[in-house]
């Protein structure tokens, strides 16, 4: 446990360092945006932030492997200590000045999630979790929502904006969820959405197209807060081989309900 807590502290230092840099950076001019794919942008800010994170992590753990959206997205999640990094989750929000973006860093030890940090850049708040040690927001213990009735539930989601071939399936799911709950929210940062599930502000969440760096830290937060996160088929291993995968998360009751509902669409 102490080793995992040390990894949390290191990840938090790296996340805060990158967050401070991003917060102070000027929003890049539109003609400097790099479009990695349809609706998928990156800038020098993303790349510089990942460089700061990499420098901080490898200074203390020089033999570790870093898998990151900008730095090394093709690396596999193998190694004794693997960092899974999204230096700026919510890049489009950042580019437009919409205040919902974060740094997400997780650590895998021998193939299992051991530490996770999500740093809300605009609000200067950190969410942290260590395997077996609970999840926290700025030192306050987190727990998932106690809501069990779908009609009372607030559900988070993410649009499949990078995978428009999934749009019709998603719209069918959206209609079913909207008709059965008290509302749906989509703010544009999957990392912060998962933190909100862990904190009980969202009762459940689903998205059809995410990568390991979007999911890793949030998955540990949710599990350590007493929640459940799986693939749509119910498999618990949400990271193995995941690039452009789907997840369903929530408290145990609403996770099961949402999983069953989505399977019919």
- Token pair for 104: 């997400």
Q: Can you give the residue ranges of every domain in the chain?
A: 2-141, 150-263
Q: Which of 13-27, 73-87, 204-218 has the lowest mean pLDDT?
A: 73-87
pTM of the model: 0.92
Q: Stretch 172-195: mean pLDDT, rounded?
A: 98
Nearest to 116 by CA among 125, 126, 103, 129: 129
pLDDT of 2: 65
Longest dimension (CA), the chain: 51
Nearest to 194 by CA among 229, 218, 216, 210: 218
Superfamily of domain 2-141: Fructose-1,6-Bisphosphatase, subunit A, domain 1 (3.30.540.10)
Coil, helix or strand at residue 183:
strand
Q: Stretch 59-80: mean pLDDT, rounded?
A: 75
Q: Which residues pair with 117 in a beta bridge?
A: 105, 128
Is the torsion defined by CA of 91, 93, 98, 99 positive or negative? negative
**Choice between 264 and 185, residue whose per-residue pLDDT is larger:** 185
pLDDT of 180: 98
pLDDT of 244: 62
Q: 150-263: same fold as 2-141?
A: no
User: Which band of pLDDT confidence, cut at 50, 70 and 90, is reported for residue 40?
Assistant: very low
Fold of the domain spanning 150-263: D-Maltodextrin-Binding Protein; domain 2 (3.40.190)
Q: Which of 117-121, 192-196, 221-225, 241-245 has the lowest mean pLDDT?
A: 241-245
CB-CB contact of 109 with 10 (8 Å)? no
């Amino acid at each position: 446990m102490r080793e995992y807590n040390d990894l949390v502290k290191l990840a938090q230092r790296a996340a805060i360092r990158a967050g401070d840099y991003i917060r102070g950076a000027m929003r890049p001019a539109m003609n400097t945006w790099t479009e990695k794919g349809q609706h998928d942008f990156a800038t020098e800010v993303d790349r510089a932030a990942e460089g700061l994170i990499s420098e901080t992590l490898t200074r203390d753990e020089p033999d570790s492997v870093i898998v990151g959206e900008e730095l090394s997205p093709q690396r596999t999640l193998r190694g004794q200590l693997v960092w899974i990094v999204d230096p700026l989750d919510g890049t489009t929000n950042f580019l437009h000045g919409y205040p919902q973006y974060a740094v997400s860093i997780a650590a895998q030890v021998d193939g299992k999630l051991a530490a996770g940090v999500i740093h809300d850049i605009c609000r200067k708040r950190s969410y942290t979790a260590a395997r077996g040690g609970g999840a926290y927001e700025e030192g306050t213990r987190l727990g998932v929502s106690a809501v069990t009735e779908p009609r009372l539930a607030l559900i988070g989601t993410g649009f499949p904006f990078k995978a428009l071939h999934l749009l019709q399936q998603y719209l069918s799911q959206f209609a079913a969820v909207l008709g059965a709950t008290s509302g749906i929210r989509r703010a544009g940062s999957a990392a912060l959405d998962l933190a909100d599930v862990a904190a009980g502000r969202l009762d459940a969440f689903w998205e059809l197209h995410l990568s390991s760096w979007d999911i890793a830290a949030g998955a540990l937060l949710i599990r350590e807060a007493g929640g459940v996160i799986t693939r749509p088929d119910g498999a618990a291993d949400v990271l193995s081989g995941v690039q452009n995968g789907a997840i369903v998360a929530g408290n145990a009751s609403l996770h099961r309900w949402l999983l069953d509902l989505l399977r019919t669409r």
